Amino acid sequence: MMKSFLFGAVVGAAAMYYYGRDIKRYVDETTRDVRAKAADTLVNVAETIEGGLQEAADRLDDVKRSAQRGSAA
């Protein structure tokens, strides 16, 4: 059991030594579109949240103004 683990670790280290750059390049190229889509989605979510927060702030201001008008009358 321990020999198998050590053998696997040595083989994995050797593979990363010889093919590490190729694997990194492949992963970068393959995931580029996915990362770009994820970034676009995050930007859209942030814009939506900002819009919602601004709308909530505007509504709170309206409520405050209404309350002030009501207490002044």
CA pair distance 67, 16, nearest whole angstrom: 68
- The residue-averaged pLDDT of 60-68 equals 88
Does residue 54 belong to any structural domain of this protein? yes
pLDDT at 48: 96
pTM beyond cutoff 0.75: no
pLDDT of 51 > 70? The answer is: yes
Does residue 53 belong to any structural domain of this protein? yes
Does residue 24 belong to any structural domain of this protein? no
Q: In which band, very low, low, confident or very high, does the pLDDT at 55 lie, cut at 50, 70 and 90?
A: very high
Does residue 45 belong to any structural domain of this protein? yes
First to last CA, the chain: 85
Entry field: residues in the chain: 73
- Return the sign of the alpha-carbon dihedral for residues 12, 18, 24, 26: negative
Residue 26, C-beta contacts closer than 8 angstroms, at least 6 positions apart: none
Give the structural domain span for 43.
31-68
Q: In which band, very low, low, confident or very high, does the pLDDT at 67 lie, cut at 50, 70 and 90?
A: confident
Does residue 6 belong to any structural domain of this protein? no
Asked if 16 and 23 count as a contact pair (C-beta separation under 8 A), the reply is yes
Total domain count for the chain? 1
Does residue 21 belong to any structural domain of this protein? no
